[in-house]
Structure 1
Amino acid sequence: MNADPAALPQLSTVLAAASMRADHWRQLNAYARAWAAAGTDSAERRGACVEALADLRPLEQCWAYPGERLLGALAAALADNDAAQFARLARKLSAAILSGDFRRDEQAWNADDDGDRTLLDALPPELLGAPDKPYFEVLIVTPNEPALWQRARDEMRAMRRVDDQFHYAVTHAGSFEDAALAAMVNADVQAVVIVDGFRFTSLLDIPDLKQFLARNLGSDDEPSTAGALSTSLARALKHFRPELDLYLLTDRSPERLAGSDEAAPLRRVFHHVEEPMEVHLALLDGIADRYETPYFDNLKKYALRPIGTFHALPIARGKSIFGSNWIRDMGHFYGTNILFAESSATTGGLDSLLEPTGTIKRAQTAAARAFGAKRAYFGTNGTSTSNKIVVQAVCKPGDIVIVDRNCHKSHHYGFVLSGAQPYYVEAFPLTQYSMYGAVPLRTIKQALLDCQAGGKLDRVKVIDMTNCTFDGHMYNPQRVMEECLAIKPDLIFLWDEAWFGFARFSPLHRRRTGLGAAAALTERYRSKAYRTEYEAWKAQRGKVEPGDPAQLDEHLLPDPDKVRIRVYQTNSTHKSMSAFRQGSMMLVWDEDFHEVEGPFEEAFFAHTSTSPNLQLIASLDLARRQMELEGYGLTLKMTDLALRLRRTINGHPLISKYFHVATPEDMIPAEFRASGLRDYGPPNASWVETLQAWDDDEFALDPTRLTVICGAAGFDGTQFKGLLAERFDIQINKTSRNSILVQTNINNTHSDAALLIKALADLSREIEARLAQEGANGRQVFADRVRALMTDVPDLPNFSQFHDAFREAPDGASNEGHMRPAFFMAYEEANCEFVRLHSDDVDRRLAEGPQMVSANFVIPYPPGFPIMVPGQVITADTIAFMRKLDVKEIHGYHAAQGIKLIKPDALAGLRAGSLQ
């Protein structure tokens, strides 16, 4: 029965226990139906039920539902050989778990279907069936014997009041290990009550429990004292699930403990004999803090008020819509609320995004808490604008920014606006897919050392990288920041995490985020252990001269007395969370923000509309609420769904002939995968090895971003994207020459996954049938098409250099340049000329000169990175790449005119030092 390595109770997958649990309940229900249909005399089918229930029982204590009472009734039916009763209960419990009805319907907690209210008699009628009250679960970690746990659950249940905003159920754990396990696998747990005196070791029979906990908590060492066990558990849970509300009930002096560092992870400390109702109220109050959406709550109230509008927004209140003969259908489509909740006023609690003092300020404070930042700012024009705000805030003319050449165009425009000089560094190429990966740490360090050798290190202000990339390449930000700070301890890091905002709420992804690294390094550099480590490393290595290349391959450590943690993260909240399009956030962890606050405010004013969309702001508020309360469960489900999609596509005997989801081995060169990880999960690697790779490898691949290679099916990315949309109603954003990107997110369901699989299967069958019908000639045509897409691919061009007119030290190793003056030179028509891409003039000038210098940005979609920037010398590899492009959309290039260049005579005599 347990041949499947993913079967419970073994924890052999990465935090997918909740979905495995649902699958197991489905299986139990199927076995129960089969037993009932065969009759009680079928020993084989009864045996299947016995084994399946035995598999379920060890982990079921992690969830409040179905609880020991219902599980006991299920077990009793099995013991009594009552197949019909066992099947009825298995169906009832399985259905409630899969549908979530136990959260809304009290009858789901009752073993009988005939109206027996044994469990419900303790509750007043008005509390039964509270579908509008959000449900959560409370984990109580206690030294009490399990025999007393049900009584405690019933007592907590009896404290429900009509006025309670939420309702909850209780589950128990009797040890450190069991509590940690429950918090990890049960996403419904939102609060943990820790009662001093529990043991460390689990009594559950789960073979790999200790390894599971050790790899996710970082340690399996038992604290030396009973008191330390409680606070150690609190720290471990807060590290793994920072959103949890933690409470401690202790006989130790609560006053002394509450004021100590030990209590930092705790929301509140109670004396052990405190009135239970106070604990109940504290639990609800903690959830209320996270549930509160200051801006959205007030917007709802505003929409109900009878307001006369004499401001510049006729659409407000909807009178111009519903009273119209011609656009009344707009009101019918959008409804009344969106119109009643519109205004251009900043009074009445609506607050001002440009100078928030009320509900927006409170909403941003809540966002900072939820995302682990020191400050949060809302953006209502997408992360394109957020990036420009941050770049302009932290950079001034002459500052050098070491930046991925393939970053989003908003960064490049930010450099134009700020006058900062980009030092472009190259990501590793994935030529076979016509895309780039991410920038190796060695390349970033080389840029810093080149600036150091050239006497320019003081001007290097920012390291600007995209994490994760569009295609899922994730940096190891903690390692990147540590080694760069060892060279220059006050560097600012801008992590563009537009596609990665959800990562904060996934313990798997969080380790690869900029803010996660900021928190970890702040704690690390303040510790005595790090100071000792640093002094030993410094003594061993001796003195190293500035710019010494030996530093490239050495793990450098920064001086704890000099290092400053300065991190800015931008995220497109709308891309991975439940926010309206263009909803974005700027998240700040900057120990020197006082130096930047003024410029940041000015940049924010410069780029933010004085008429921001109120619904966008409200949706950002709501997206934060959702992620803080259920983001943990949602991100685990989306990751599990993505992993299932990967396995299904790559393991399907027919689909895999024509379509393939790129693996970490495909997408990350071996030199950046020290672990040797080829793909996620068995049989390629155990999950212990997989998580170790995520911790240690220079780059990892986000499993929720699936690069589906379609070239082997004869489709280019653009063609395949259109086909999926037109025939199968599947929408895709990004393509490359021979691939599409499938993004799983918190919105996706198993039905969505099935739709994609069905489409790929149908297309694969059609290809098979067509090739069989067309014969040898048709197969040759198909093979030629595949070869053109998969083999005869153009080389990817690297950034060449800025023209000498835009470089202060043309002979120096560092490659920064003045892009701003080159950009504005193109505003004067007399400074510019055009050359046709396929003309002899281009080839002649490549061979004989004068150099061709780009006057603007040229960005083909796909692949979506700038192959030319203002002031860049155009080289043969760039021209070759452009000539092989078969995409229709190239921003900054018009085939009828040609490539826009700065004339050589306009460049003659220019020197970078004189440029403004």
Structure 2
Amino acid sequence: MHKLGEKVPNSLLALLASGEIVSNSAPGRVAARLEEELALRRIDLITTVSSDDASAMLRANPAIQCLLLNWELPGDGDYPALDVLEQLRARNLQLPVFLLADRETVGNMPRRALELANDFIWMLEDTPTFISGRIQGAIERYRHAVLPPMFSALTHFARVHEYSWHTPGHTGGTAFLKSPAGRAFYDFFGENMLRSDLSISVTELGSLLDHTGPIAAGEHYAAQVFGADRTYYVTNGSSTSNRVIVMASVTRGQLALCDRNCHKSIEHAITMSGAVPAYLVPLRNHYGLIGPIPPEQLTKGAVDQAIQENPLSKMADSQRAVHAVITNSTYDGLCYNVRRVEELLGESVDRLHFDEAWYAYARFNPIYRDRFAMYDSDDPQPNLKPTKFATQSTHKLLAALSQASMIHIRDGRSPIEHGRFNEAFMLHASTSPLYSIMASNDVSAAMMDGPGGTALTGESIAEAVAFRQVLARLKREYEDKGEWFFDGWQPDRVTDPSSGHNYAFHAAPAELLCKEAACWLLDPGESWHGFGNLEKNYCMLDPIKVSITTPGMQRNGELDKWGIPASIISKYLDNLGIIVEKTTDFTILFLFSVGITKGKWGTLVNALLAFKRDYDANHPLSQCLPNLLKKYPTYGDIGLRDLAQKMFAGMKKLRSTSTMSAGFSALPGADCSPVQAYEALVRGDVEMLPLNQLAGRTVATGVTPYPPGIPLLMPGENFGTADSPALQYLQVLESFDREFPGFGHDNHGVEVRNGRYHIYALRREVEP
């Protein structure tokens, strides 16, 4: 028999948890014969001998498809086997469990054990052949039940159909076998992926464009899991999902309210639809992090004023907006109280669109209650509320393939029926979608269904909290020695709402931080978040989006006497094979997705400690950043601390952080609508100009610094005066990039020529 931790060759696994498995005992001899019978059915039997081992194996190996559990299993507590069952059912309600016990023991067994198990096996009374048949039947039923609809149909089709006469031309991968490069491709990606790469002409799987067959069944299933009335699978990202929603909801001559710090895909959608945008401007804090749109901006009076002050509003047929877009959660993990947003904005608009690209997991953990678009509602008249849309990138923090996205819809006032909505969907969807992307959406929904979603999100939160507390503890210990260390962007102290006890963050009970949303609220006036007197309970920091802060920025918004630019740490981590999500001047964002492990974040802690050692010792770049020095030898082999001090001095002189905040907080004047600017671009009525010639000109394209990919300037807006916030920020970026090669910024809509930024502007003769 295979022992705990041993590699198992077959894909069908059963776990036998019993302390009686020894070769010279009757149960041991029966188990050996059972293993032989199962092997004939291509099922491997693995064994554990204690409750702790059994629970660990069930957590670590989701490939186990049946549990044989001896009621007399050794372990701690009164009923060790019941503990195993409780832990299993907290994650998986469907796994078949057979209890091994004699008939007398069953009569005295706790009712809870009988509720959690599926059946009994009498190891010393039934034959191994009979038992193995029962196990095989249970596994087959489990495999059928556990696979979501579309993925189940796809696996069946790939297994049954041998020949195809349709696209794609590699016909299940066989074309790749005809050349050396193709064979390498085939071996790398594997037969199943290639056999499941199919044509839309495969009617057995239904159609993504018509939403029929198993694909439709998968979408209906996902709608139930994610709390929507309707769900649509999208195979080319939430950028496309956003465009589908906007173009289904708003068009030329209609007003749309837009989160000013929305993703560039919203800019594209507004441009393509011809809608007239009016903007809602979020807050920025001392780090330059994007905050929420304050609730006072969402009242009907404030919205009416924003529309009246918008120079483009005169182009609209009506002064009432038909659509509103809000980013939730923000790129740095700030989550709105959606009930409150709905209450406020619902007075001004009938359709609310929440870009939740980074937030698909929120429904599945109670800490996020009421803070996501498809929140549970017991409203007796849902049709009186705004219709809500949510876009979710299932590939970002759930376990889907890249480009996998979903659109969720809950109908209310002014709904868009399926037929109309699907026209916008087909406008953007490919007629050759990749089936594996759709299947990964299907599987992501299945992974979140039932207790599995709570368990997986709970693990992510627990790992993020553990990392945050380690970071805070190290920060405190180094401070006690008069030294520096990194910090986490999070509350300094938290209060247990039940007991009223107040804790330093690093000393708070981990369970409190993992379970209690109040620990993560942006309470009014607290200096750690820097967003002022926000309404209580309006905004919460998502614990799994962890921003590490580096020395240099004070909470009053002033730079300190010394500091370490975050881009240097990101470059150092990259040299160690650790890729960060986002870097600002003094923050680095890490995402604790469902794939996080203790080893992964433990490695990050070690890397941060290594940076501190190298920085304090001022070790040379040849040792710390060899790739940077090799590509840009002009730095010379200076010390790591010397480079950080030089860069910090440059940032202090340029005022990069405050200039960034000002650039994104000021609302530029608009000369024409985004679609008018784009039409001029297509006609060629534009010219590429350096920054020093752009004062007073109209930008033809969006100008979008990455990350996180939000527009500084929208098409059709005016650059303003030579000292306008937008031009000043671009000049800062340009100067920084020239002075510190290798640390340059990625700005969409900007072309760099000989170290100078150039941007398309409308020609003078076509400017409005």
User: 1:153 aligned to 2:113?
Assistant: yes
* 1:460 equivalent among 321, 324, 330: 321
Distance apart, 1:381 and its partner CA: 0.1
Instruction: Encode CA deviations 1:680-719: one digit per residue, 9 max, x unaligned.
Output: 9828996697538659522111010011123559654444
Q: Which among 420, 430, 439 is matched to residue 609 of structure 1?
A: 430
Question: Which region of structure 1 is more displaced relative to structure 2, 403-412 or 688-697?
Answer: 688-697
Alpha-carbon distance in structure 1 between the residues aligned to 2:619 and 2:178 = 60
* Paired residue type of 1:906: V
What residue is the counterpart of 1:770 in the other structure? 618
2:743 is equivalent to residue 882 of structure 1 = no
Change in 2 beyond 3 A, CA 1:133/1:299? farther
CA contact (8 A) 1:853 1:901 kept: yes
Residues 661 and 789 (structure 1), Cα distance of their counterparts in 2 relative to 1, 3 Å cut: farther
Q: Please, what TM-score do these two structures have when normalized by structure 2?
A: 0.71
Residue in structure 1 matched with residue 573 of structure 2 by the alignment: 724
1:343 aligns with 2:198: yes
Could you report, residue by residue, the CA deviation over 1:46-73 in whole angstroms, capped at 9, with x for unpaired residues? xxxxxxxxxxxxxxxxxxx999x9xxxx
Query: 2:205 is paired with a residue of what secondary structure?
Result: coil
Q: Specify whether residues 514 and 507 from structure 1 end up closer, same or farther in structure 2 by C-alpha distance, changes over 3 A only.
A: same
How far off its partner does 1:835 sit? 3.1
* Partner secondary structure for residue 657 of structure 1: coil
Q: CA 1:600/1:718 → structure 2, altered by over 3 Å: closer, same or farther?
A: farther
Equivalent residue runs for 1:437-476 within 5 Å: 437-445=291-299, 446-450=301-305, 459-476=320-337
Q: Secondary structure at the match of 1:761?
A: helix
Contact 1:803 1:872 in 2 (8 A): yes
Shift of 1:378: 0.1
Residues 384/869 of structure 1: CA separation in 2 closer, same or farther (3 Å cut): same
- Select 2:397's aligned residue among 565, 576, 592: 576
Alpha-carbon contact 2:255-2:322 (below 8 Å) kept: yes
Q: Specify the alignment match of 1:661 in structure 2.
A: 488
CA distance in 2, matches of 1:633, 1:336: 32
| Partner SS for 2:682 | coil
- Per the TM alignment, residue 895 of structure 1 is displaced from its structure 2 partner at its CA by 2.9
Give 1:871's aligned residue. 716
Q: Give the Cα–Cα distance (whole angstroms) in 1 for the partners of residues 599 and 511 of structure 2.
A: 28
8 Å CA contact 1:711–1:789 kept in 2: the answer is no
After superposition, give the CA deviation of every residue in 1:325-366 in whole Å (9 maximum; x if it has no partner).
442111111221112222214335121110122100100000
Give the drift of 1:92: 3.4
State the one-letter code of the partner of 2:611.
L
**Which 10-residue stretch deviates more, 295-304 or 437-446?**
437-446
Residues 355-414 of structure 1: per-residue CA shift (max 9 Å, x gap): 122100100000000000000000000101000001101112122111111111001100
Is the 1:803–1:853 contact (alpha carbons within 8 Å) kept by the matching residues of 2? no
Match in the other structure for 2:55: 97
**Equivalent pairs: percent with the same residue?**
24
Would the alpha carbon gap of residues 452 and 786 (structure 1) be closer, same or farther in structure 2, given more than 3 Å must change? Answer: closer
Letter in 2 for 1:470: Y
1:835 aligns with 2:689: yes
Matches of 1:627 and 1:663 in 2, distance apart? 27
Moved more, 308-317 or 158-167: 158-167
User: Residue 415 and residue 804 in structure 1: after superposition, are their counterparts in 2 closer, same or farther (change >3 A)?
Assistant: closer
Would the aligned equivalents of 2:206 and 2:212 in 1 still touch at CA under 8 Å? Answer: yes
- Counterpart among 483, 504, 508 of residue 682 in structure 1: 508
Q: Is 2:549 the partner of 1:709?
A: yes
Map of 1:358-373 to 2, 5 A cutoff? 358-373=213-228
| Partner SS, residue 763 of structure 1 | helix
What CA distance in whole angstroms lies between the structure 1 residues aligned with 2:729 and 2:502? Answer: 32
Q: Counterpart of 2:592? A: 744
Query: What is the letter of the counterpart of residue 94 of structure 1?
Result: D
Matches within 5 A, 1:388-427: 388-427=243-282
Give the drift of 1:665. Answer: 6.7
- Following the alignment from structure 2 to structure 1, what is the Cα–Cα distance between the partners of residues 242 and 144? 30
* CA 1:384–1:164: 2 relative to 1, 3 Å: farther
Distance change in 2, residues 1:307/1:133 (3 Å): farther
Change (3 A) 1:618 1:825: same
Contact 1:663–1:678 (Cα < 8 Å) also in 2: no
Aligned pairs for 1:756-835 (under 5 A) are 756-770=604-618, 783=645, 785-786=647-648, 788=650, 792=655, 793-795=657-659, 796=661, 797-798=663-664, 805-806=671-672, 818-829=673-684, 831-835=685-689
Q: Distance in 2 between matches of 1:593 and 1:166?
A: 49
Counterparts of 1:328 and 1:622, CA distance in 2: 28
For residue 801 of structure 1, report the CA deviation from its aligned partner.
5.4
Inter-partner Cα distance in structure 1 for 2:193 and 2:665: 47
Q: Take 2:766 and 2:537, find their aligned partners in 1: how far apart are those partners?
A: 48
> How far did residue 502 of structure 1 move?
0.8
Q: Distance in 2 between matches of 1:297 and 1:504?
A: 24
For 1:737, what is the secondary structure of its paired residue?
coil
* Counterpart residue number, 2:34: none
Query: Residue 633 of structure 1: which of 455, 467, 476 is its match?
Result: 455
Change (3 A) 1:290 1:640: farther
Residue 610 of structure 2 aligns with an amino acid whose one-letter code is D
Distance (Å, rounded) in 2 between the aligned partners of 1:400 and 1:137: 57
What SS does structure 1 have at the residue aligned with 2:466? helix
- Secondary structure at the aligned position of 2:354 is classed as strand
Name the counterpart of 2:760: 900
Q: Deviation string for 1:486-530 (max 9, x for gaps)? A: x23x521100000000111111124210111xx42xx2464xxxx
Higher mean C-alpha deviation, range 709-718 or range 869-878: 709-718
Q: How does 1:278-317 map to 2 (within 5 A)?
A: 291-317=146-172
Q: Secondary structure at the match of 1:398?
A: coil
Answer whether contact 2:616 2:641 (CA < 8 A) is retained.
no
Residue 704 (structure 2) aligns with:
859
Using the alignment, how far apart are the partners of 1:332 and 1:134 within structure 2?
Answer: 34
What residue in structure 2 maps to residue 481 of structure 1?
342
Per the TM alignment, residue 663 of structure 1 is displaced from its structure 2 partner at its CA by 1.2
Equivalent residue letter for 1:726:
N
Q: Is the alpha carbon distance of 1:164 and 1:369 closer, same or farther for their aligned partners in structure 2, counting shifts above 3 Å?
A: farther
Distance 1:678 1:300 in 2: 51
Inter-CA distance 699–94: structure 2 relative to 1 (3 Å threshold): same
* Distance change >3 Å, CA 136–CA 480, structure 1 → 2: farther
2:160 aligns to what SS in structure 1?
A: coil
Query: How far apart are the structure 2 equivalents of 1:290 and 1:494?
Result: 34
2:284 aligned to which of 418, 429, 435? 429
Identify the residue that residue 124 of structure 2 maps to in structure 1: none
Q: 1:863 to 1:509 in 2, by over 3 A?
A: same
Deviations 1:92-128 (A, max 9, x none): 3333333337976636754469xxxx999xxxxxxxx
Does residue 106 of the first structure (1) align with residue 68 of the second (2)? yes
Asked if the contact 2:490/2:520 (under 8 Å) is kept, the reply is: no
Q: Partners in 2 of 1:891 and 1:119 — Cα distance? A: 58
CA contact under 8 A between 2:229 and 2:410: conserved in structure 1?
yes
Say if 1:66 and 1:319 are closer, same or farther in 2 by CA, change over 3 A: closer
Q: In the alignment, residue 765 of structure 1 is paired with which amino acid?
A: R
Shift of 1:572: 0.2
The aligned length equals 611
Residue among 583, 588, 597 paired with 1:735: 583
Give the match for residue 373 of structure 2. Answer: 514
Match of 1:651 in 2: 473
Q: 2 CA distance for matches of 1:780 and 1:323?
A: 56
Structure label with greater radius of gyration: 1
1:565 Cα deviation from its structure 2 partner: 3.2
Q: 1:699 aligns with which of 539, 543, 554?
A: 539
Q: Secondary structure at the match of 1:746?
A: coil
Q: TM-score, normalised by structure 1?
A: 0.60
Q: String of CA shifts for 1:769-824, please: whole Å, max 9, x gaps.
A: 2389xxxx997875564455589434221465565643xxxxxxxxxxx2211221
